[in-house]
Copies of this chain bind each other. A is one copy, B any other.
Amino acid sequence: MAERIWTAGLVIIGDEILSGRTQDKNVSQIALWLNLQGIRLTEVRIVADRTEEIVEAVNTLRARNDYLFTTGGIGPTHDDITVDAIAEALGIGVEIHPKARAVLEGYYATRGGLNEGRLRMARVPAGADLIENRMSGAPGIRIGNVFIMAGVPHITAMMLDALSGTLEGGKPLLSETVGCWVPESEVAELLATTEKRHDGCQIGSYPFFRDGRAGANFVIRSTDAAALAACAADLAATLALVGRDPVPGGI
């Protein structure tokens, strides 16, 4: 029986990523974290701070996946429209979450008190739960299968930490890397035939140029540890057979 694969989509909300000003770091940290939960990231969309674009991306990806994550746009300023856009996507209203308000009141008690902007961070789609954030008081939000996270990567990291182990998932996708100082174009056929010999394994080829030499890392992925090890060993042996030194673990 084919095993159940759990999937997630991710919507990155932020003009600053689309302008090139800010280098995104949430895709890779969320991808790695999801894999540890046994959930596979299947698609990412990076959209502008515009309601209709957020609504479309959220509705498409939440319907296709078990989980949908968003990052960005949950701060106190006028360009933070994520909560309203997601409420619109879900066809529900927005309310002040009493616990979020209490958390923010506590956090800002010694920092000038709550004001209108800060209170915006207690707004959630109606019926939502909070995701703890020990860093800045402002919580993440869970509503159904939608998880609303911060744009600042280390705040999102804390929210992910709070969620660890709470989501249902399947087997993590395992990977093993075999490196080789070879132009990938010399071993393309060998990679394809090796992959075909090992059901349930995919081999990705990631070339690079370093110190004037061509090399590549071949990443084998599988949810089955034994199949993965067999495929990696086979690939290393096959490379050695054609006079190429495999580098276990990658270069």
Contact = CB atoms under 8 A, between A and B. Distances in A.
A188 to B, nearest CB: 3
Interface in A26-56: 27-32, 34-35, 40-49, 53
A168 to B, nearest CB: 20
A9 to B, nearest CB: 10
Contacts of A20: 27-32, 34-35, 41
A228 interface: no
Contacts of A78: 188, 191-192, 195, 203
B204 A15 contact: yes
A19 B27 CA distance: 9
A3 interface: no
Contacts of A136: 209
A183 interface: yes
A204 B16 contact: yes
A49 B18 CA distance: 23
Contact of A116 (B30, B188, B208): B188
A166 interface: no
B17 A27 contact: yes
A148 B90 CA distance: 36
A76 interface: yes
A97 interface: no
A238 to B, nearest CB: 14
Interface in A107-132: 108, 111-112, 115-118, 120-121
Interface string A187-198: 111011001000
A202 interface: yes
A175 interface: yes
Contacts of A183: 111
A152 interface: yes
B44 A48 contact: no
Given A79-B205, A121-B185, A205-B77, A18 B45 contact: no
